[in-house]
Structure 1
Amino acid sequence: MTQSEHQQQAPRVVRVAVITISDTRTLENDHSGNHLVAEIEKQGHQVVGRTIVKDEKDQIQAAFERFMPEAQVIISSGGTGITGRDVTIPVVESLIDKPMPGFGELFRMLSYQQVKGAAMLSRAVGGLAGKTLLFALPGSLNAVQTGWEGLLRDELAHLAYEVVR
């Protein structure tokens, strides 16, 4: 079966949850999360959950685990850097059964075109956890736009299809 045939069989509506990891963001100033929600809905998909949690291991893990039973895809933003407070990546990696290294590799390739060598600081990661796809993006609006427009938007339904076929 070709990729085109897979895309034709993919669900038209994907159930997506959005998690923002930040010690300072609120729903009013969460530009990255607000952008993701608007874009997901614009594509006709369903936002089944949204939350903002502190950059704390237990809170991040609880948020992912809360959404995993209902969401086919969870997209997070924030907490992916290399500072001591950034713990998103180890948490997400601990949940993933099947890593998708290409997601992070392609994200950094796209980022490099915009921010040059600073792209190496991105620890964007994606993979399958049970029956839910997890994608962790950096928290900046530019990074979220890069990940959404460059990788996830046009493949979201196809990705969801691959999980259940």
Structure 2
Amino acid sequence: MPDTSRPPTSSSLTGSAADVSSSEESTPLGTVSIAPVSIATVSVAKTAHHVAAASAPVRVALLIISDTRTPDTDTSGQYLLAELQAQGHQVTSYRIVKDDAVEIRAALVAFVREATIVISSGGTGITGRDVTIPVVESLITKPIPGFGELFRMLSYAQVGGAAMLSRAVAGLCRGAVIFALPGSLNAVTTAWEGLLKSELSHLAFEVTRHGQPGVADLGGARPAGNLFSPPAATPAGTLNNLTGKPAAAKAPELGRHKPGSGNGS
């Protein structure tokens, strides 16, 4: 009969427990072992409505903040344009503005009126010219802190402590979600592949299904098979639209707003 009063020897441990013991012996006292985060291996359980909304096209506007970039040299913006179009989303506007708070705010206020998702890139650091985050935070009415937290977690696995310098942020402004990303292509790729690519349609679904305070109620059912994009005509007066040509007559849009309502008017 085995002596149950004595603790088990190392030979009686399971494989996983033995592995833990071995790992502890090889780790210096006072240090922490952090497993790297692999974007490709993350498995996510999705609810039924999450799956149903996963492929719906979304109206997206892109704002690039830079003193030096042009459409020809804007690798981050061109990457996002290609990825969004490959996923079937509708890019309503693509614009490059200087690191100037007034220009950034004006573009964002216009974009949240025409798109459900607004993605900005640039100006999220701590230099004297980085003014994007205060502008975005002044417009946000419902913060989404998890985005910045997860983005910096993914970045830490790639660049270490330098990830703390990014102030990437996200939140709702009226009927749209604004994501403020860093300007580098590597950071934009991390945010897109690790967080945004699989979630844009789900985010749009959550934003629009119950409406948002200060957003006009359009009434009626959404078009079948296209929960988040209105008819294909580009609204008249759209700022810096992709074709550069005069826009057609305005069509009804999800996320239109009552004059003078909400933040950022």
* TM-score, normalised by the number of residues in structure 1: 0.96
- The equivalences for 1:1-165 within 5 A come to 3-9=47-53, 12-165=56-209
CA distance in 2, matches of 1:149, 1:8: 20
Deviation per residue, 1:85-104 (Å, 9 max, x gap): 10000000011000000000
CA distance in 2, matches of 1:3, 1:51: 35
Deviation per residue, 1:50-74 (Å, 9 max, x gap): 1000000000001111111110000
2:115 is paired with a residue of what secondary structure? coil
Shift of 1:6: 2.9
CA distance in 2, matches of 1:115, 1:11: 32
CA distance in 2, matches of 1:139, 1:4: 35
After superposing the two structures, state which structure 1 stretch, 137-146 or 9-18, moved more: 9-18
Shift of 1:115: 0.3
CA contact (8 A) 1:7 1:157 kept: no
The amino acid of 2:96's aligned partner reads I
The amino acid of 1:138's aligned partner reads P
CA distance in 1, matches of 2:149, 2:119: 17
CA contact (8 A) 1:127 1:134 kept: yes
Segments of 5+ residues of structure 2 without an aligned counterpart are: 1-45, 210-265
The amino acid of 1:160's aligned partner reads A
CA contact (8 A) 1:55 1:86 kept: yes
Larger helix share, 1 or 2: 1
- Distance change in 2, residues 1:134/1:73 (3 Å): same
1:47 is paired with a residue of what secondary structure? strand
CA contact (8 A) 2:60 2:92 kept: yes
The amino acid of 2:163's aligned partner reads A
CA distance in 2, matches of 1:7, 1:87: 37
Segments of 5+ residues of structure 1 without an aligned counterpart are: none
Larger strand share, 1 or 2: 1
Shift of 1:9: 3.8
* TM-score, normalised by the number of residues in structure 2: 0.61
CA contact (8 A) 2:54 2:198 kept: no
Shift of 1:5: 2.1
CA contact (8 A) 2:54 2:199 kept: no
CA contact (8 A) 1:73 1:132 kept: yes
The amino acid of 1:63's aligned partner reads A
Which residue does the alignment assign to 2:220? none
- Pick the structure with greater CA Rg: 2
CA contact (8 A) 1:10 1:160 kept: no
Deviation per residue, 1:21-56 (Å, 9 max, x gap): 000000000000000010000101010001000000
Q: Which has the higher contact order (CA 8 A, sep 6+)?
A: 1
After superposing the two structures, state which structure 1 stretch, 6-15 or 140-149, moved more: 6-15
- Distance change in 2, residues 1:67/1:161 (3 Å): same
Structure 1 segments of 4 or more deviating over 3 A?
none
